[in-house]
A and B are shown apart, each in its own frame.
Chain A
Amino acid sequence: MAMAIIALTGVACGAAPALTPVTSEGLLERVREFRGRKAVVVHVWATWCAPCVKEFPEFVRMAQARADRIAVIFVSADFPKDADRVREFLAAQGVTRESYIKSESDQKFISALSDQWTGALPATFVFDTSGALVAFAEEALPEGGVSQYIEEVLNP
C-alpha cells in the first residue's frame, strides 16, 4: 500500500529526487503534457525564501492527497550553484518525483509564465485540465489554505 502511494504521488521521505534544469518553454511543455488528464500546479520557490519553506509541506501534502487529479511541479529559483541544497531540501520534504530548477534569465522566465508576476517568491500557477492558466498567486497562500485555494480556483 505504501509503495502504491509513493508511486502515485512521488512523495516519500528520504529518497534523493532528480533535479532538472528547466526553461519556461520546457516547463510549459511539461504542463501541456498533462492536458486532458490532470490539472497542474506549478510552484516556484527557493530554499532561501522563508515563506516558501514554510508553506512547502502544504504543497507536498496536497500533491499526495490529490495525485489522481492534480500534478504538482516544483520549480526552484535557487542559483544553480545551490542545487545540492535544493536536493537536500526536497529529500527532507519527501519529494521523490522529478523536480526542476530555473535555468534561464529572470526576465524571460517570469514573462513567459505570467504578465502579472513581478518576480516575488513564492509564486503559484494553477492550470486546469485544458492547460489554461486559471489562477496565479504571488506570495504565500493563506496558512493552511493551499488545498482549499487550489480546489476553489479549479472549481469556481
Chain B
Amino acid sequence: MKLTYRMGATVLALSAAAFLAAGPAGAERMNKKAKGGAKASQQEELAIGSAAPMADRKMTDVSGKKLSLKSIAGPTGLLVVFSCNTCPFVLAWEDRYAQLAAQSAQAGVGMVLVNSNEGKRNGDDSLDAMKAHAKDREYAVPYLVDARSELADAFGASRTPHVFLFDRDLKLVYRGAIDDNSENAKKVKEDYVADAIGSLVAGEEVEIKTTRSIGCSIKRK
C-alpha cells in the first residue's frame, strides 16, 4: 500500500513496500489518498508546459496598484518568484534579484515577486512590511500580496524562493531554484533561471527544466 496526503500544507507520503533497497531516490511517485480527515488534494508543483494559473487575477502590489500576471508578462515571457521578507534563503539569494530583474527586462520577460505568507500577514509579511522591504532592497519589479495563498496553491509553490518561468504563451518552461548556490553568488556553477531566459530569447528549448533547493516553507493559514 502506498499513501500520500496533505494536512494543511504538509505532504505525507507513505509507502509500505521495498522503497530503500538502493536508496529512496529510485522510488516511484506515490499514490494519493486521504486519511484521517486530512485534505485529499496535494498541491503538486505546476507541470512543465502548463499554462500560468490565475493569470488574470489582480493582486495588490506594494505600489498600491492592482496587477495581474498577464499584465506583468513581457513579450518573451513571465518570471514569477515566490518570495517573502525574512527567509534567510530569500535574503541570501536576494542580492541576485536586481540582476535577474535587469536581465529579465532586457530579455522582454516580465518579472514579479509574490508574497504568499498569509500565516505571517499580521507580522513580518504584512503589506506595510513588504513595502518597507521592497524599498530597503530597492526592488525594481512588482511585489504582490497573494491573498489566501491562492496563487501559491495554484502553482504548487512550496517554499521561498520558488521560481516559475513561463514563455511568451505563458506556458511553464522552468521551475525551481534561481541558481545552484544560495549562499554565495560568486560560487554559482549552474545559473538555472538566467540560462532558461537565455534559451527563451534564443528560441531554444530550456535544457534544465526543473530543480530543487532548500527554502522556507510558504506560511499558509
Contact = CB atoms under 8 A, between A and B. Distances in A.
Interface string B4-47: 10011111111111111101110101100000100000000100
B212 A106 contact: yes
Interface centre among A107, A121, A125, A156, by most B CB within 10 Å? A107
Contacts of A137: 10-13
6 contacts: A31-B20, A81-B183, A119-B215, A132-B18, A134-B19, A139-B8
B12 A120 contact: no
Interface in A102-125: 102, 105-107, 109-122, 125
A138 interface: yes
Interface centre among A111, A127, A137, A142, by most B CB within 10 Å? A137
Given A106-B182, A106-B213, A120 B159 contact: yes
Interface residues on B, range: 35 or more
Contacts, number: 139
B158 A138 contact: yes
Contact of A121 (B29, B162, B211, B216): B216
Interface string B83-122: 0000110001000000000000000000000000000000
A121 B27 CA distance: 21
B177 interface: yes
Given A115-B29, A120-B215, A121-B214, A135 B24 contact: no
B180 interface: yes
A21 interface: no
Interface string A137-156: 11111100000010011001
Contact of A106 (B25, B36, B180): B180
Q: Is the interface of B mostly helix, strand, loop or mixed?
A: loop
B217 A51 contact: yes
B218 interface: yes
A118 B19 CA distance: 19
Interface centre among A109, A125, A130, A134, by most B CB within 10 Å? A134
A91 interface: no
A136 B19 contact: no
A7 interface: no
Contacts of B18: 130, 132
A28 interface: yes
B202 interface: no
Contacts of B181: 105
Interface centre among A46, A105, A125, A127, by most B CB within 10 Å? A105
B27 A138 contact: no
Contacts of B214: 46, 77, 102, 106, 109-110, 119, 121
Given A112-B25, A121-B217, A140-B10, 14 more contacts: A49-B217, A107-B212, A116-B29, A117-B212, A120-B215, A120-B216, A121-B159, A125-B24, A133-B24, A134-B19, A142-B7, A142-B8, A149-B12, A153-B14
Contact of A134 (B11, B16, B29, B159): B16
B15 A110 contact: no
Contacts of A105: 180-181
